[in-house]
Amino acid sequence: MLAEMRFVISAFFFLVLFSYGAAYDPLDPNGNITIKWDIMSWTPDGYVAVVTMHNYQMFRHIKSPGWTLGWTWAKKEVIWSVVGAQATEQGDCSKFKGNIPHCCKKSPTVVDLLPGVPYNQQFTNCCKGGVVSSWGQDPAAAVSAFQLSVGLAGTSNKTVKLPKNFTLLGPGPGYTCGPAKIVPPTNFLTPDRRRKTQALMTWNVTCTYSQFLARKNPSCCVSFSSFYNETITPCPTCACGCQNKNNCVKSDSKILSMVGINTPRKDNNPLLQCTHHMCPVRVHWHVKVNYKDYWRVKITITNFNYRMNYSLWTLAVQHPNLNNVTQVFSFDYKPLVPYGSINDTGMFHGMKYYNDLLMEAGPHGNVQSEVLLQKDKNTFTFKQGWAFPRKVYFNGDECMLPPPDTYPFLPNSAHRNLFSISTLISILLILSIAI
């Protein structure tokens, strides 16, 4: 009996630890999406609230077709009106006469409005089609908000019941939301910034992302090459699963000339180029040049999906020499320091209006940049794959790296030859002067 109890307790703790660990990202330990409800005023049968969504994830944004937010009312609440968003279904409002609510569903689902809606339907930070930038890329655009009027609800802090069972799609699965928690009311400054007001009541909902919940296979892979070895280490075979192998398209197929071939499907099914790895995105890291005090890397991101382009893309990389980045030539770069003293992680993203859009598969379906890094003579080496990254994330999802034993290796004599070029040049100069 005692042994059975121990087993049950151990299994319980294992499940708890696993559930929390699945949503924990070591490169972004504090990353989450916080949904804040601020009650701004009371109405005869409820309240008016502003719902604000803050994306505190450093390198994971919400791409098109955008976020979808859902919850379950605690009582029999209805949504009288919404500004800056809309419920996807009205539900059964047959018991109402005259003024019909915007939504009568017990579990409403709300989406952002598209750009260009009339001004009387807009709200601050709304109407971006649900697209929300990552905090590390653009904090000002990492927010989305709307206003809703709730009826048949409580009309005071004591009678209001918090909604429950929050869900968030961003745009697909992967997010898990905790329960709503009452927090101190939000403070607001008037436009002249001389007076401070506050919400009548505020509660927060925190949602975290897990790649394990989002998909069973990775969505990107990494390949390596170097100047000191002719071997190119490709992405692992079927790195992203080979379930689309029978529906892939060769790069020279006549199907690609058909009109509308690049139009996304409603079910978001990809149309991938036939490759051995079958990944929508490949990141290639090439160790290009070695100098006396610096070394240069070329990064290329290639899209193999004919039905998808990536706006606001991000690339997060972990490498010990990112603490000495001298210059990034064609990408924007930002160091990520989640643990304060350890500076080994950085985020690359496209320059606005230049290469912040990764086009669909084809001749223009790639972006690339070179990175110049300064050497630390105490740690720098080309041996044992040191020059290649430890982790790579594209759009917030971790990419599959090749096995370490397949990395381009440094020939035995190369280490000496790499640092003998300057000596050889000096000898030649002395000989030319003597002659």
The pLDDT tens digits for 127-140 are 999 999 999 999 99
For residue 22, what pLDDT is reported? 47
Chain Cα centroid distance, residue 329 = 23
Contacts (Cβ under 8 Å, ≥6 apart) of 294: 326, 372, 373, 374, 375
Q: What are the distances in angstroms from CA 312 to CA 62, 95, 272, 358, 413?
A: 9, 45, 21, 8, 43
- The 3-state DSSP class for residue 179 equals coil
For residue 271, what pLDDT is reported? 86
**DSSP secondary structure letter of residue 258:** S
How much is the average pLDDT of 352-366? 91
Tokens describing residue 75: 């009582």
Answer yes or no: are the C-beta atoms of 301 and 364 closer than 8 Å.
no
Tokens describing residue 22: 């699945």
- pLDDT bracket for residue 413 (50, 70, 90): low
Task: Say if residue 281 is exposed, middle or buried (CB neighbours under 10 Å; 0-12, 13-18, 19+).
Answer: buried
For residue 338, what pLDDT is reported? 79
For residue 255, what pLDDT is reported? 75
Task: Say if residue 127 is exposed, middle or buried (CB neighbours under 10 Å; 0-12, 13-18, 19+).
Answer: buried
- pLDDT bracket for residue 96 (50, 70, 90): very high
For residue 179, what pLDDT is reported? 97
